[in-house]
């Protein structure tokens, strides 16, 4: 009985060592075998042995082929990086669409009744904008309005909303898209240069260098920075009840509070 148990234990240990690929007979961890390593020939008694060229010649067989040395390393293919095609023009329109792709119009060259940007359905009445480079794909940039309705605040920026402009989960913070001065990228809002809303007696802080462009689709996205320098994903929206374009983080919270049917939109740069 003891002999049977000993043989069973020996067989089990040999099985584990030969098939697991990670454990040695003494319980140590082994490296995985290199890919393509030649298998050993098993001879009587279960011991692994490689046949030599001398043995093969004695049996009238040709010598073994030269051994291929391999580290087991296979370099992974690296996808080629296709450079972004530059814009055909640094001037263009901003096409606006609903999140389902339905066309909503263009940013208008005239403000709404509260001196914020709104929509128009024709390029004849659309705002012409300019980016500083034909390859504006590496970070936030300013959008300059070439035919902006407020020449003292010609940049298309975001002005803190009257009901709060802190963006975060469950927050109703918003910002109006309006005419602004310039501000540094990823900086908290500032009142230094004012905005197109200032003539209405409204002097909330604003940000201008908030825009980024996708080099493939030419889609333009926005990034609002809170006063404590934190950032959250930013949604561009249109409020049809009061006809203005704005930014927010939690559009559901905004609509729950104001019930104005605001909906998310996307911006796309269309070169002139």
d(CA 207, CA 245): 15
Residue 203 is predicted with a pLDDT of 92
Whether the CB-CB separation of 112 and 120 falls below 8 Å is answered with no
Q: Count of CB atoms within 10 A of residue 43's CB?
A: 10
d(CA 209, CA 136): 12
pLDDT in single tens digits along all 272 residues of the chain: 544 544 444 444 444 444 332 334 454 433 333 323 333 444 444 444 555 665 556 556 677 666 555 444 445 545 446 778 999 999 999 999 999 999 999 999 999 999 999 999 999 999 999 999 999 998 899 999 999 999 999 999 999 999 999 999 888 899 999 999 999 999 999 999 999 999 999 999 999 999 999 999 999 999 999 999 999 999 999 999 999 999 999 999 999 999 999 999 999 999 99
d(CA 232, CA 234): 6
Residue 88 is predicted with a pLDDT of 96
d(CA 142, CA 208): 6
Q: In degrees rounded to 5, what are phi and psi of residue 51?
A: -75, 135
pTM exceeds cut of 0.75: no
DSSP SS3 for 158 = strand
d(CA 191, CA 193): 6
Give the closest residue to 236 by CA, choosing from 182, 193, 164, 174.
Answer: 174
Structure token digits, residue 27: 């319980």
Residue 227 is predicted with a pLDDT of 95
Q: In degrees rounded to 5, what are phi and psi of residue 188?
A: -60, 155
H or E element at residue 251? helix 251-258
Q: All domains of the chain, ordered by start, with CATH?
A: 2-58 (no CATH), 91-271 (2.80.10)
Of the CA atoms within 13 Å of residue 94, those in its CB half-sphere come to 29
Pairing of strands 41-42, 48-49: antiparallel
**Torsion angle, CA of 141/144/149/150, rounded to 10 degrees?**
70
d(CA 11, CA 3): 12
């Amino acid at each position: 009985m003891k002999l049977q148990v000993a043989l069973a234990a020996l067989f089990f240990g040999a099985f584990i060592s030969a098939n697991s690929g990670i454990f040695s007979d003494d319980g140590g961890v082994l490296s995985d075998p290199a890919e393509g390593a030649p298998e050993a020939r098993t001879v009587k008694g279960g011991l692994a042995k490689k046949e030599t060229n001398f043995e093969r010649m004695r049996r009238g067989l040709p010598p073994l082929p030269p051994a291929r040395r391999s580290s087991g390393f296979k370099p992974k293919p690296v996808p080629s990086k296709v450079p972004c095609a530059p814009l055909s023009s640094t001037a263009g329109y901003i096409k606006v669409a609903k999140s389902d792709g339905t066309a909503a119009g263009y940013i208008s060259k005239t403000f709404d009744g509260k001196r914020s940007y709104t929509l128009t359905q024709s390029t004849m009445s659309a705002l012409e904008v300019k980016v500083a480079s034909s390859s504006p794909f590496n970070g936030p940039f300013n959008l300059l309005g070439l035919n902006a309705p407020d020449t003292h605040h010609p940049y298309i920026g975001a002005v803190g909303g009257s009901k709060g402009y802190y963006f975060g989960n469950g927050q109703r913070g918003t910002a109006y898209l309006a005419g602004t001065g310039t501000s540094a990228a990823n900086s908290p809002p500032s009142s230094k240069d004012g905005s197109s809303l200032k003539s209405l007696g409204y002097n909330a802080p604003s940000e201008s260098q908030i825009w980024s462009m996708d080099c493939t689709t030419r889609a333009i996205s926005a990034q609002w920075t809170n006063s404590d320098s934190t950032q959250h994903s930013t949604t561009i929206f249109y409020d049809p009840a009061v006809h203005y374009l704005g930014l927010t983080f939690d559009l559901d919270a905004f609509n729950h509070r104001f019930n104005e049917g605001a909906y998310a939109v996307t911006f796309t740069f269309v070169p002139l």
